């Protein structure tokens, strides 16, 4: 994580993302702009929620881990998204792990200042309420249904999500073949079955293995297989 000490850039993101009105004049001086590199964790499940973050550029991956150590991907998110809103309201530790997929810019505010100047701000609280209810609506409609998709569709959606960012044409990611066990856990299948599906997609010319990486060879074809990207 790198703090970007550029007030003008921070103000530009507030204006571009139309979130100027969310933060009152007491909170505004305590906002900071942060940059996260691909693969870097923004927060980890169980960590103390010391910050509320607003995603203003880039793509993030959100996943959860069970007490047995099993991980499951919940979604990929692009702007505008808030991380730490549920934790702020409930005063609990982070409930999920959030990881940068592409170069990510976040506006963050320390929980201390948020509680001091935001707890009695109806505009801020209403904005957070709207965001939280939208999240639960989306999750209730999609999470259990996503697991019913065939592994081919889940894998295609996952590869597309880690390989491309619609808000950043310059970003081209990939899936590291050394982390296939993690990928299998994240999409809810076995390592062996995942390898079978990867070989099938390679034979169909949709992806290829190249120097330890799995890269997209036919983005259009892979998108057709995925249909509506179930993770975004």
Is the separation of the CB atoms in 101 and 44 below 8 Å?
A: no
Residue 167 has pLDDT above 80, yes or no: no
User: What's the chain's length in residues?
Assistant: 232
Q: Where in the chain is CATH 2.60.120.10?
A: 2-146
Chain mean pLDDT for the chain: 90
CATH 1.10.10.10 in the chain is located at 151-226
pLDDT score at 210: 86
- Residue 148, exposed/middle/buried by CB under 10 A (0-12, 13-18, 19+)? exposed
Write the burial class of residue 200 (CB in 10 Å: 0-12 exposed, 13-18 middle, 19+ buried): middle
- The pLDDT, as a whole number, for residue 142 is 63
CATH of 151-226, one of 1.10.1520.10, 1.10.1760.20, 3.40.50.720, 1.10.10.10: 1.10.10.10
The pair of three-digit structure tokens given for residue 149, joined into one six-digit string: 């998709």
Question: Please, which pLDDT band fits residue 143 given cuts at 50, 70 and 90?
Answer: low
pLDDT of residue 165: 86
Q: Which CATH architecture has domain 2-146?
A: Sandwich (2.60)
Query: Hunting for tokens 């934790």 — which residue is that?
Result: 87
> Nearest 5°: CA angle at 37, between 110 and 82?
40
Structure tokens at 200: 């099938």
Q: What percent of the chain has pLDDT over 90?
A: 66
Describe the strand order of the beta sheet including 213-216 as a list of residue ranges. 175-176, 213-216, 207-210
Alpha helices, H only, the chain: 7-16, 85-90, 111-118, 122-146, 151-163, 180-187, 191-203, 219-226
CB of 34 closer than 8 Å to CB of 106: yes
Element (DSSP H or E) covering residue 41: strand 41-43
pLDDT band at 29 (very low <50, low <70, confident <90, very high): very high
Model confidence band, residue 221 (pLDDT cutoffs 50, 70, 90): very high
**Closest by Cα among 216, 4, 28 to 121:** 28
Count CB neighbours of 185 within 10 A: 20
Residue from 133, 130, 84 nearest 109 by CA:
84
Q: Lowest-pLDDT range, 33-37, 59-63, 161-165?
A: 161-165
Q: What is the mean pLDDT of residues 171-180?
A: 82
pTM value is 0.86
Least confident of 94-98, 165-169, 224-228: 165-169
Lowest mean pLDDT among 28-32, 160-164, 174-178, 188-192: 174-178
For the chain, the 3-state helix, strand and coil shares in percent, each to the nearest 5, are 40, 25, 35
> Out of 71-80, 96-105, 193-202, which region has the weakest mean confidence (pLDDT)?
71-80
* pLDDT tens, position by position, 65-85: 888 888 888 889 999 899 999
The pLDDT value recorded for residue 110 is: 97
């Amino acid at each position: 994580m790198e703090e970007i000490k550029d007030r003008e850039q921070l103000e530009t993101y507030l204006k571009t993302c139309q979130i100027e009105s969310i933060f009152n004049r007491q909170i505004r001086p305590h906002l900071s702009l942060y940059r996260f590199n691909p693969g870097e964790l923004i927060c980890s499940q169980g960590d103390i929620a010391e910050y509320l973050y607003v995603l203003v550029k880039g793509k993030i991956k959100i996943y959860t881990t069970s007490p047995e150590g099993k991980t499951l991907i919940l979604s990929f998110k692009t702007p505008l998204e808030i991380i730490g809103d549920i934790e702020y309201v409930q005063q609990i530790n982070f409930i999920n792990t959030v990881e940068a997929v592409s170069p990510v810019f976040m506006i963050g505010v320390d929980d201390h200042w948020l509680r001091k100047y935001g707890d009695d701000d109806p505009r801020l609280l209403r904005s957070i309420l709207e965001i939280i209810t939208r999240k639960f609506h989306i999750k209730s409609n999609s999470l259990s249904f996503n697991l019913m998709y065939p592994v081919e569709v889940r894998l295609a959606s996952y590869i597309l999500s880690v390989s491309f960012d619609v808000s950043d044409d310059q970003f081209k990611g990939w899936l590291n073949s050394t982390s296939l066990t993690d990928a299998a856990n994240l999409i809810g299948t076995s390592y062996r079955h995942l390898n079978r599906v990867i070989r099938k997609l390679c034979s169909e010319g949709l992806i290829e293995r190249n120097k330890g990486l799995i890269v997209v060879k036919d983005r259009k074809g892979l998108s057709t297989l995925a249909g509506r990207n179930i993770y975004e």
